[in-house]
A and B are shown apart, each in its own frame.
Chain A
Amino acid sequence: QVQLQESGPGLVKPSQTLSLTCTVSGGSITTGSFFWSWIRQPAGKGLEWIGRIYTDGSPTYNPSLKSRMSMSLDTSKNQFSLKLNSVTAADTAVYYCARLEVTSLNLDYWGQGALVTVSS
């Protein structure tokens, strides 16, 4: 059974960098059948797609966040990561990592989510 787990600081100061890691178990992130994705959800609001990264390391970012973000893979640890620079209170949200199947483009497995609060 595939499982994803987010980890990272729960509190980030304004203007600093948000860093999250997703550890994947039960399957390899190098399998060519999946993209590895980040989605976020501010409290009481809907979901926002942040971006995805393929097994070759090529990312695709939401244009609204592109200038501030980067994603990467660590195949030795079976992890992928998100960095979001220059954060503001508007970046406060639950951040989910998820697996996106290449063929169906469905987000079929999700992590439990990590709450990140931006506050001084």
Chain B
Amino acid sequence: EVVMTQSPATLSVSPGETATLSCRASHSVGPNLAWYQQKPGQAPRLLIYAASTRATGVPARFSGSGSGTEFTLTISSLQSEDFAVYFCHQYNGWLNTFGQGTKLEIK
């Protein structure tokens, strides 16, 4: 099983600034990584797939990068609606695994 480790667990950033979230895989997953946003009481929403491709309707301020074992989600010019929990998800092989999440909170 590929273990996904996200850091930090909580990130405090002011609106208008840039947030950088990290996800590390215990084994290489190639480019097979997605990022999801989850708000309280809601289902996760797909933001990024194939490490760097934005899903339909996702604003350009969300960007993903990385490959192999190290991945980054960058959110620039933070808006109030961006404060949420973010999960990474690897799908390299049939056993999918998720990170534990990073909570992005308002500073």
Q: How far is the CB of A99 from chain B (nearest CB, A)?
A: 10
Judge whether B101 is part of the interface by a CB distance below 8 angstroms.
Answer: yes
Contact: B100 with A108, CB < 8 Å? Answer: no
Chain A stretch 69-120: residues in CB contact (< 8 A) with chain B: 96, 98, 104-108, 110-113
A47 contacts across to B, CB distance below 8 A = 44, 87, 89, 98
Q: How many residues of B contact A (CB 8 A)?
A: 22
- Which residues does chain A contribute within 8 Å of B49, judged by CB atoms? 104, 106
A63–B55 Cα gap in the complex (Å)? Answer: 30
Contact A45 B34 (CB under 8 A): no
Task: Say yes or no: A46-B50 contact (C-beta < 8 A), given A106-B55, A108-B55.
Answer: no
Supposing A45-B100, A49-B98 touch, asked if A96 and B32 sit within 8 A by C-beta, the answer is no
13 A–B contacts from the bound complex (CB under 8 Å): A45-B100, A46-B98, A46-B101, A47-B44, A47-B87, A49-B95, A49-B98, A106-B91, A107-B36, A107-B46, A107-B89, A111-B43, A113-B43
